[in-house]
Amino acid sequence: MNNQHEADELTPQESIQLITKMLDKVQDDALWKVAKKRSTFKITLLIFIVINAFLVGLWFFTTGPASYFWPAWPMLGWGLGVVFQFVDAYMTNGLLSEEREFEKLKRKAKSINPQS
């Protein structure tokens, strides 16, 4: 029975390889999440441009440049959302990430209970 238990244990080199693979998987998942946010932003921006160009064209050809520029309102409202999506996709750098919160909680727990 003892020989079976010893056979199931990993060598230090195997443990390091396993941990490295696990960390690579976590990093790949994080990069995939960022790539998805950026791709979604680019699609949203393209739709924003196309729809707002249509609205400006509609305004221009129906009432003309001498009239009130009503397309500004949907541009401003939707544009604000696009700006927030841009910030989330390109500029947060983990500012609001789960990983950062986890590390803060871990440091707090260690300060309360230094044995762990």
pLDDT, tens only, 4-26: 445 578 888 877 777 777 777 77
Q: Bigger pLDDT: 81 or 109?
A: 81
**Every domain of the chain and the residues it spans:** 2-112
Q: Look up the pTM and report it.
A: 0.65
pLDDT value of residue 40: 95
Rounded Cα gap, residues 33 and 25, in angstroms = 12
pLDDT in tens, 70-95: 999 999 999 999 999 999 888 876 66
